[in-house]
Amino acid sequence: MDTSSTNNEIDSVLKDYDEKRENLIPLLQGVQERLTYLPPEAIERIAAHLGLSENDVFGVATFYSQFRFQPRGKHNVRVCQGTACHVMGGARVLEQIIKQLGVEPGQTTEDGRFTLETVNCIGACALAPAMFVDKDTHGRIKPEKIAEILNGVGNYTGT
């Protein structure tokens, strides 16, 4: 997305909120919903809109784990690393996904298709080890099945 388009998206969120500090989190959420992340220009424009420093806005945004500062991929891969999943081989599953996608947790593939994340629990302990790909739950995963799972999503053609 070019800078002009990004600024238009940010402005479309800003216009819906008064210039009050209590609107900071809803503004951050609204911009992230539109752009999938908070680019530097969003922090700058939100700060100007609310009459805050960029440091204040960034400080709030970094305090909450819901906010991201890198673009997300089209598909979100979340791998459970909770106790049950860990005991049942979640670390090996994660290792294989890292190998398949070529990114570490918190990163997005170069082609923008996948963002890899780890989570402490996805609430599917009976299916351990488990992961989500977008809204689909995959359980009792074997590392050798990772390519097959990813191939079913977003035309992935990895190794």
Q: pTM value?
A: 0.71
Which residues neighbour 97 within 8 Å (Cβ) at sequence distance 6 or greater?
Answer: 77, 79, 116, 131, 146, 150
Contact assessment for residue 129 and residue 89, using Cβ atoms and an 8 Å cutoff: yes
Contact assessment for residue 16 and residue 30, using Cβ atoms and an 8 Å cutoff: yes
Architecture of domain 3-63: Orthogonal Bundle (1.10)
Whose structure tokens read 């440091």? 55
pLDDT in tens, 8-63: 999 999 999 999 999 999 999 999 999 989 999 999 999 999 999 999 999 999 99
Burial call 18-39: b when 16+ CB within 10 Å, e when fewer:
eeeeebbeebbebbbebbbbbb
pLDDT in tens, 53-66: 999 999 999 999 88
Q: What fold does the segment set 75-151 form as a domain?
A: Glutaredoxin (3.40.30)
Domain boundaries, the chain: 3-63, 75-151
